[in-house]
Amino acid sequence: MKIDDFCKKLDDTLATLTSPEVRLEASVKFISLAFSVKLDEVAVFLLDKEGESLNFAWPPKLKNSGSIPLSAANPLAAQTARENRGVFNNTFAALPHASVFELFRIDKDKPLPIQKIVSAPMTLDGKVRGVIQVSRKGETGADAGKDFTPGDLLLLQSVAATIASRL
């Protein structure tokens, strides 16, 4: 399916849903299917009212885990929001980053480190509203699965723009 068709289907689905929580969950399901990842390998951050921090909106278990200040140097989510620019990295585990959120148990399985990641800002009318990240987790990069590509970044950027108008 082409990116435009995928985003149209996503937008049509979101338009029928009345609750922000239900729209968020539907968005994450679309993303996880598009990237062939688990639901907990999708993260959605929303910018706070002051425009100073990102807070987890997804996964739900991380909603109250804290916030990421936009002024923080290392977090990829903060960098994505500050620069209003998407990025992908297939050697993410080797970069300095705060791995505290990776240690949270989402389900019964042992938490795995993020090996690969793609990150895109959710922008509406030129203003960043949040960030969406898709990760591939595993003990090693090979365990995590296939690498992200420029096409994956383009898809996530388009999906993020679609979702920004509905959350």
Counting the structural domains of the chain, the total is 1
**In this structure, how many other beta carbons lie within 10 angstroms of the beta carbon of residue 167?**
17
Give the per-residue pLDDT at 65: 82
pLDDT score, position 107: 52
Q: Residue 92's domain is classified under what CATH number?
A: 3.30.450.40
**pLDDT tens digits for range 7-59:** 999 999 999 999 999 999 999 999 999 999 999 999 999 999 999 999 999 99
Residue range of the domain that includes 145: 3-164
Cα separation, 99 vs 69, whole angstroms: 15
* Residue 115 pLDDT > 80: yes
Contacts of range 34-40, beta carbons closer than 8 Å, 24 or more positions apart: 34/6, 34/155, 34/159, 35/118, 35/134, 35/152, 35/155, 35/156, 36/145, 37/134, 37/135, 37/136, 40/106, 40/107
pTM equals: 0.90
pLDDT, tens digit, 9 for 90 and up, residues 57-111: 999 888 888 889 999 988 999 999 999 999 999 999 877 655 444 444 445 567 7
